[in-house]
Structure 1
Amino acid sequence: MFITYRYAEMSLDPRLEFTPAQLWAAVEQDIQWPWFYVQIARRDGREVVASALLLQHAHDLETIIQSQSKHAWVEQVQIVTPAHLNGHARWLMEPLKEVCLMQDDAGEKGLLFKVENDVRYSLHPQRNLEQLLLIKVLFSAESDLQRR
């Protein structure tokens, strides 16, 4: 989903060359698909340092949530949705309340995203969301976000 190009790679400060990180001046998004902006906090001695991850898949978000500890935790999650999904004329970035794996009567699975004001976005082909069966909650802001 996010594409990088060698010409956009930035050089690290020579004093930091030991780090495995790579810096990019820009990345490209190749598909018009929702993605997640995830703010991570990490304890470094007495300090807490925050950074953000850009994640493509809800299952990656679920993995990050499951790997939280007293040393690293998720503080907030935003979903970034394209116009064709959110019904607006532009991309939107909104606080994510929940991600659910849903299934229809034929067994076809898809994702349902809940944001504020009871707004729901679905990647399931079934348009009548009330007829979908909840299989699993992959993320819930109420129970999964750590407030420290």
Structure 2
Amino acid sequence: MFGEGISQWHTVSRLLKTHWYHLTVRAEENGRSTELAFMIDGEQKLQHMLVAQDSHISITDIQVMTPSHMNAKGAWSMEPLAKVTIGVDSDGCEACLLEVEGGAVYHNSHSPDFRPDLLTNLRPIFQSSMIKTA
């Protein structure tokens, strides 16, 4: 209906107010370059996409979409992502630290006593140097 390589969607629905990632991906095949957008839920899927890059598929941009309870801006916000780190908090729960290009650091913990400096077993998932500029 829309022609080769064209698609359209109308709605995406999410139940939980959790952060997610918007990836811009460049795919090259038979001398043709196509840009795709992926909406990724969770660090495991983000890491899978990062590892899957090769000479034909590369991530050129990653933005993080954060809900207001994470970014303290009163509304959802999409910002360029600089770094993602996973760690374990003082309650033994996994927590994610998101650093955006502007320098702000957000976390996904719902603990009122959460302190990023007390995270243990820190594992970097993403750094901005892992993507290619468009």
TM bin, normalised by shorter chain, reads 0.7 to 0.9
Given that residues 100 and 134 in structure 1 are in contact (C-alpha distance below 8 angstroms), is that contact kept between their aligned partners in structure 2? no
What's the counterpart of residue 8 of structure 1? none
The secondary structure found in structure 2 opposite 1:63 is helix
CA shift, 1:130, in A, is 1.4
Task: Choose from 48, 62, 71 the match for 2:33.
Answer: 48
Question: For residues 5-25 of structure 1, what are the alpha-carbon distances to aligned partners after superposition, in whole Å with 9 as ceiling and x for unaligned?
Answer: xxxxxxxx2987xx9xx8532
Question: For residues 117-146 of structure 1, what are the alpha-carbon distances to aligned partners after superposition, in whole Å with 9 as ceiling and x for unaligned?
Answer: 32111113352211222521111112x102
- Counterparts of 1:75 and 1:29, CA distance in 2: 25
Question: For residues 22-81 of structure 1, what are the alpha-carbon distances to aligned partners after superposition, in whole Å with 9 as ceiling and x for unaligned?
Answer: 853212222211111000100022232101000111110100000100000111100001
Q: Give TM-score scaled by structure 2 length.
A: 0.86
What's the counterpart of residue 133 of structure 2? 147
The secondary structure found in structure 2 opposite 1:42 is strand
Q: Give TM-score scaled by structure 1 length.
A: 0.78
What's the counterpart of residue 106 of structure 2? 121
What's the counterpart of residue 96 of structure 2? 111
The secondary structure found in structure 2 opposite 1:65 is helix
- Counterparts of 2:2 and 2:99, CA distance in 1: 44
- Counterparts of 2:89 and 2:12, CA distance in 1: 36
Root mean square deviation, CA, Å: 2.3
Given that residues 89 and 114 in structure 2 are in contact (C-alpha distance below 8 angstroms), is that contact kept between their aligned partners in structure 1? no
Q: Which structure is higher in helix share?
A: 1
The secondary structure found in structure 2 opposite 1:32 is coil
What's the counterpart of residue 56 of structure 2? 71
Q: Which moved more, 1:114-123 or 1:33-42?
A: 114-123
Alignment of 1:27-42 (within 5 A): 27-42=12-27
Letter in 2 for 1:138: I
- Going from structure 1 to structure 2, the CA distance change for 1:98 and 1:71 (only over 3 Å counts) comes to same
- Structure whose CA Rg is larger: 1
What's the counterpart of residue 118 of structure 2? 131
What is the aligned length? 132
Q: Which runs of 5+ in 1 are unaligned?
A: 1-12
